[in-house]
């Protein structure tokens, strides 16, 4: 579908992408983590897309199996949600991924 | 107002009250913290109240100054949100409050 193509394009063209909801604290946590790491993700606030919001959330579920926010991609690869991203960082694996995505 | 009276009654009659949203991870965190501490809070899921949800959220803002969820009360006293509750617990101050509220 056209929406699916547009989501795929977004995650391929941006090193870091966060599908988020503007009033969600888990989404805020992951956005602020990237900010602390000096990374500026492309942020898509699903609650600001009107009727497209739920549609994009459905496309993401089809593409990643994940229906929740935040939904994080690095270097075109699906990372997961807030907990997954924080876990990667605690293991020291997040910054290498970010560096590699930036260099692409 | 009648809704304000009903909220006041809820927080007075229940030792622990959590105003929550069912899909919110911060709300989930605070509910699961209480569960781990062996406490069963009265939980009000604002997203399950239909049109009353936003109205209750407004009443809570009037009563507590807090417009976000989760909104936590112990022994009729306004505690705060997820971060506040977790902070109290880290300082060892949450369980004494819970014990005192239970004994009322
Ligand atoms: N463990 C997941 C939790 C994700 C989650 O439950 N997200 C909630 C918001 S905090 C959600 O998307 N709920 C359904 C919705 O908002 O559509 C994470 O760390 O990201
Ligand atoms: N620091 C606060 C954050 C509370 C917060 O921002 N809550 C969000 C949901 S996670 C909220 O209520 N957003 C507005 C809304 O859902 O109406 C806490 O720990 O509870
Ligand atoms: S909506 Fe509360 S943490 Fe996501």
Intervals of chain B under pLDDT 50: none
- Max CA pair span of chain A: 38
Kindly report the nearest CA distance between residue B91 and chain A, in angstroms: 22
Which pLDDT tens digits describe chain A residue by residue (104 residues)?
999 999 999 999 999 999 999 999 999 999 999 999 999 999 999 999 999 999 999 999 999 999 999 999 999 999 999 999 999 999 999 999 999 998 87
**Would you tell me how many other CB atoms lie within 10 Å of the CB of residue A6?**
12
Distance of alpha carbon A78 from alpha carbon B32, whole angstroms? 28
Element of type H or E holding A6: helix A2-13
A25 neighbourhood in chain B, CB within 8 Å: 24-26, 82
Kindly report the nearest CA distance between residue B24 and chain A, in angstroms: 8
Q: Which of B26, B45, B86 to mutate to test the pocket of ligand 3 (most atoms within 8 A of CB)?
A: B26
């Amino acid at each position: 579908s056209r929406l699916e193509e547009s989501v795929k394009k977004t995650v391929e063209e941006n090193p870091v992408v966060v599908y988020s909801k503007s009033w969600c604290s888990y989404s805020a946590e992951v956005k602020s983590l990237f900010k602390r790491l000096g990374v500026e993700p492309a942020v898509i606030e699903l609650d600001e897309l009107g009727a497209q919001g739920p549609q994009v959330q459905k496309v993401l579920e089809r593409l990643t199996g994940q229906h929740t926010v935040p939904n994080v991609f690095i270097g075109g690869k699906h990372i997961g949600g807030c907990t997954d991203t924080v876990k990667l960082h605690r293991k020291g694996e997040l910054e290498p991924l970010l560096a590699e995505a930036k260099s692409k």
